[in-house]
Amino acid sequence: MPFDNLLVQREAGVAVLTVQRPQKLNAIDAKTIDELRQAFLDFQQDDSIRAVIVTGSGEKAFVAGADINELARDTPENARRRALAGQQVFDFIEQQLAKPVIAAVNGVALGGGCELAMACTFRIAADTAKFGQPEINLGLIPGFAGTQRLARLVGRAKAMELILTGNPITASQALAIGLVNRVVPAADLMNESRALAVELAAKAPLALRYAMEAVNNGLEMPFADACQFEAALFGMAVATEDMKEGTRAFLEKRKPDFKGR
């Protein structure tokens, strides 16, 4: 379906979703949240899509944050509902989509933009990108689970520093603290992101899903319980046709052709 604030392109098992509000530096408003929800539901239901890239239009911004015009008019109850709506969409991307998502961060990723990137499976940043949670400078706190994902990704001390000061960091600083997976020249960002997406799209879809579930859910469990959960998923993977194809291809010294079954 067509979107007003998003552009979706599909090719060779990879969907590229571009947030398109250049006049607002791709800031997220309520309509964009609704469109992101629908787009990712579509990706989940489309078996031909095996990996997703998320980026922003233009060179300045991935997503510059929430739309301040909307925030300025919010009541406390509307703000709570807005936060929950964003959290639900980002949780769907991270936990329920069951397909790897790459944030190709082409510019500033602030506030809701940083939170969107953190919900993705991988973050590849242009060397010109910047990251931050500047909500404190507006008398606010992160609302799309930024206080939770940031601490889990970079640790409590660094998360406190970024959230309480509101100061942005460069792509190289984000790499140093583990917020991003890699930093590349801006001109190479989409090629690098597409190469990773194509590589992931060739993997066994069910094995990817189980591996992501093991990591995401296991981090919230006691270690012994997480190991049991991993073993259960390992058993489920062994039962798939893809496992049989993968082992057969290895023995026959050829590339496997995974079907997601």
CATH number of the CATH domain containing 234 = 1.10.12
User: Which CATH number covers residue 126?
Assistant: 3.90.226.10
d(CA 79, CA 73): 9
Q: For residue 156, give its domain range.
A: 6-201
Segment 138-164 mean pLDDT: 96
pLDDT tens track for 72-131:
888 999 989 999 999 999 999 999 999 999 999 999 999 999 999 999 999 999 999 999
Q: Give the pTM.
A: 0.93
Is 192 catalytic? The answer is no
233 part of a folded domain: yes
Residues 152 and 228 in one domain: no
146 part of a folded domain: yes
140 part of a folded domain: yes
pLDDT tens track for 215-259:
999 999 999 999 999 999 999 999 999 999 899 999 989 888 898
Q: What is the mean pLDDT of the chain?
A: 95
Residues 130 and 28 in one domain: yes
256 part of a folded domain: no
d(CA 179, CA 181): 7
pLDDT value at residue 73: 85
Is 245 catalytic? The answer is no
Segment 169-183 mean pLDDT: 98
Q: Are 47 and 201 in contact (CB under 8 A)?
A: no
33 part of a folded domain: yes
pLDDT value at residue 114: 98
Q: Which of 35, 59, 70, 115 is catalytic?
A: 115
Domain count, the chain: 2
Q: Which of 135, 213, 230, 245 is catalytic?
A: 135
